[in-house]
Structure 1
């Protein structure tokens, strides 16, 4: 068997250069990985929206007596005892808070993922926003619900502006 080196030759001590990155092969600059201003602003809006969602849900507990009175005065509430109405209102409030906490947690989780350049996360945030708008239309309207929904809509729009689109496209080629 022969070697590429002659009988007295030694292998060169110069290491091979590192392989070219995908962007270098295409002739472009390496993306910086820093999210543009629009994505950063969207991230903070998601954090604010999550906080508003939690505050609104907790505020509902201060309205417990009013909700119980409304339940008593409903024409279809005649078949329920006072204790049953009290239990139903309490269950409704607890379920509402749990859902608000769940959505707030998802907002924060996917906001971090979107800020990191994950395109799927901004799509999930857009879907969550659509669900929030639907819940606002179907459910009760409160100041906190309207504010958090408006904040979410603005945050989603920011994620789909041209600078954001470029950031997410670059993120897909980085992986």
Structure 2
């Protein structure tokens, strides 16, 4: 019987036999990869020196940004209510001032300018909230600064209500104050710090 007859290639090897009885140029197929039913491949660990542990967005970030969003909505509602009481605000302001330069036109103009500025601030605040939700640490710092300013002015406003401010607006102010304070604290907790650090590492390494 000649060499190669009856083999897996119908009697024809790709080349002459090599050492060990295997044909030259023939590589054994790799062993099948062992798998277990019901289990997927293990996730790869972060590589590189100083790689943080992978983590999902923690509840402190979700609730903290949610508190800021709720405060923003309450502030917008309060502004709409105040803008709807322009006549009452003008009348009470005129009754409490003796300055001849303060006229109804001046007061109404100031209210309109204040409303436009408030809309711009709300839009910027919403933009910063979006970036903070995506894990941008600089946006979190901006929220801390703006939130701190809002807390200070909120305390002043609650201590000395503006002319024409109703009890409903005062209640909204208290809710907005507490929600802003909660957002600042929640975004400063350790799980939030760890997640923002992880997101920064992801962007630095091109993974997020």
Smaller-chain TM-score bracket? 0.7 to 0.9
Is 1:106 aligned with 2:106? Answer: no
Instruction: Give 1 or 2: higher helix fraction.
Output: 1
> Partner of 2:49 in structure 1?
26
Map residues 92-103 of structure 1 onto 2, 5 A cutoff.
92-103=110-121
Q: Give ranges in structure 2 of 5+ residues lacking alignment.
A: 1-43, 162-169
> Partner of 1:170 in structure 2?
198
Give the direction of change, closer, same or farther, for the CA distance of 1:144–1:28 in structure 2 (3 Å limit): same
The structure having more radius of gyration, on CA atoms, is 2
1:54 deviation in Å? Answer: 1.1
For CA contacts below 8 A with separation 6 or more, give which structure has more relative contact order. 1
How does the TM-score come out when normalised to structure 2?
0.63
| Paired residues, number | 150
C-alpha separation between the residues in 1 aligned to 2:106 and 2:50? 64
1:30 deviation in Å? Answer: 5.9
Deviations 1:47-72 (A, max 9, x none): 21111111111111222222112222
Q: Give ranges in structure 1 of 5+ residues lacking alignment.
A: 1-20
> Partner of 1:128 in structure 2?
146
C-alpha separation between the residues in 2 aligned to 1:146 and 1:102? 22
Give the direction of change, closer, same or farther, for the CA distance of 1:24–1:92 in structure 2 (3 Å limit): same
- State the 4+ residue runs in structure 1 displaced beyond 2 angstroms: 25-32, 74-77, 133-147
1:146 deviation in Å? Answer: 3.1
How does the TM-score come out when normalised to structure 1?
0.73
RMSD: 2.5
1:137 deviation in Å? Answer: 4.2
